[in-house]
């Protein structure tokens, strides 16, 4: 299968590192013009340069904006108003006793993980519907259906993203605009390495820490390892393509079999 996204423009939120950076690279390699987003303009420019080195012929631009705020979402839209592929990837996560999470922290998680996606979908979907072409994706998580005891606030926001994917897909019913969520499993990023070390301790080599984390905190994983960012990106690139034209309103699993269910 050869995926060709030439002539498409993609905005990937939170794409200066980790899964977002891998998605931006995957889309650029498939021929899409990619807008890299992050809060810090210097970090965004650095990520753009890194992506240009990785994909020398790629069309890559910088879109610095804090899309977790209403003002930032509008700034992103003004910088790149014509988007064919919107990947709502930006997100935060952390471990905390659910009884110690105050209202401010709950609001912050929803602002970043949920409302950023709501606002950007509201801004970009009308043009997609008018053109009768577009792809909108939400980076959810296996934590949306298997809520981790140590990160209930995170899991709850990811459950909300599944509802967004289904709900906005209904708004696009009868068109060639598709809307899907991607259930990503535990993924090997710098942020997750820090998260793992905080849970299992720092006095062991990384491969032992990873194994201990999977054994103790994610024992139901069939992969029994962390997923690499490029493995998540591969699914996003496919769902962004014409080949995925009949897939919409779905929650597509790239979680290593961690969700013990035989239906999506």
Place of tokens 């922290």: 105
Q: pTM for the complete prediction?
A: 0.94
Going by C-alpha positions, the residue among 161, 183, 228 that lies closest to residue 26 is: 228
What end-to-end distance do the CA atoms of the chain give, in Å? Answer: 23
Q: What is the pLDDT of residue 156?
A: 98
Say what angle helices 18-29 and 41-54 make with each other, to 10 degrees: 40
191 has pLDDT over 90: no
Percent of the chain with pLDDT over 70: 100
Q: What is the pLDDT of residue 69?
A: 98
173 has pLDDT over 90: yes
The arrangement of strands across the sheet holding 134-141 comes to 60-64, 33-38, 9-12, 85-88, 134-141, 177-184, 251-254
Rg of the chain taking only CA atoms, in angstroms: 18
Q: What is the pLDDT of residue 13?
A: 98
CATH topology of domain 9-187+228-251: Rossmann fold (3.40.50)
Q: What is the pLDDT of residue 99?
A: 98
* 154 labelled catalytic: yes
Domain boundaries, the chain: 9-187+228-251, 188-226
Confidence of residue 254 (pLDDT cuts 50, 70, 90): very high
Q: What is the pLDDT of residue 86?
A: 99
How far apart are the C-alpha atoms of 68 and 108, rounded to whole Å?
A: 9
Instruction: Give start and end residues of each alpha helix (H) in 4-151.
Output: 18-29, 41-54, 70-79, 103-110, 116-131
- Tens digit of each residue's pLDDT (9 = 90 or more) over 198-214: 999 999 999 999 999 99
Whether the CB-CB separation of 113 and 66 falls below 8 Å is answered with: no
Confidence of residue 108 (pLDDT cuts 50, 70, 90): very high
9 has pLDDT over 90: yes
Confidence of residue 135 (pLDDT cuts 50, 70, 90): very high
Q: What is the pLDDT of residue 262?
A: 84
Task: Supply the mean pLDDT for the chain.
Answer: 96
Catalytic residue among 138, 154, 197, 238: 154
- Tens digit of each residue's pLDDT (9 = 90 or more) over 142-162: 999 999 999 999 999 999 999
- Tens digit of each residue's pLDDT (9 = 90 or more) over 204-241: 999 999 999 999 999 999 999 999 999 999 999 999 99
**H or E element at residue 195:** helix 190-200
């Amino acid at each position: 299968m050869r995926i060709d996204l030439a002539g498409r423009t993609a905005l990937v939120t939170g794409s200066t590192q980790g899964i977002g950076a891998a998605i931006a690279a995957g889309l650029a390699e498939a021929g899409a013009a990619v807008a890299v987003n992050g809060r810090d303009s210097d970090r965004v420019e650095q990520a753009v340069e890194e992506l240009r080195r990785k994909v020398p012929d790629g069309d890559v631009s910088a879109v610095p904006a804090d899309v977790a705020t209403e003002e930032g979402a509008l700034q992103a839209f003004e910088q790149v108003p014509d988007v064919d592929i919107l990947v709502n990837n930006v997100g935060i996560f952390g471990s905390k006793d659910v009884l110690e999470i105050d209202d401010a922290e709950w609001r912050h998680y929803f602002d970043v993980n949920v409302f950023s996606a709501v606002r950007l979908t509201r801004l970009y979907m009308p043009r997609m519907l008018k053109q009768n072409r577009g792809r909108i994706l939400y980076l959810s998580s296996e934590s949306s259906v298997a809520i981790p005891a140590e990160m209930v606030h995170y899991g709850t926001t990811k459950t909300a993203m599944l509802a967004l994917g289904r709900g906005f897909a209904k708004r696009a019913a009868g068109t060639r605009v598709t809307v899907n969520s991607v259930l990503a499993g535990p993924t090997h990023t710098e942020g997750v390495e820090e998260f793992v070390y905080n849970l299992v301790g720092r006095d062991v080599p990384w491969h032992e820490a990873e194994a201990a984390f999977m054994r103790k905190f994610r024992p139901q994983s069939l992969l029994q390892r962390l997923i690499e960012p490029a493995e998540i990106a591969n699914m996003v690139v496919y769902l962004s393509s014409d080949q995925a034209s009949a897939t919409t309103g779905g929650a597509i699993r790239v979680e290593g079999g961690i969700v013990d269910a035989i239906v999506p």
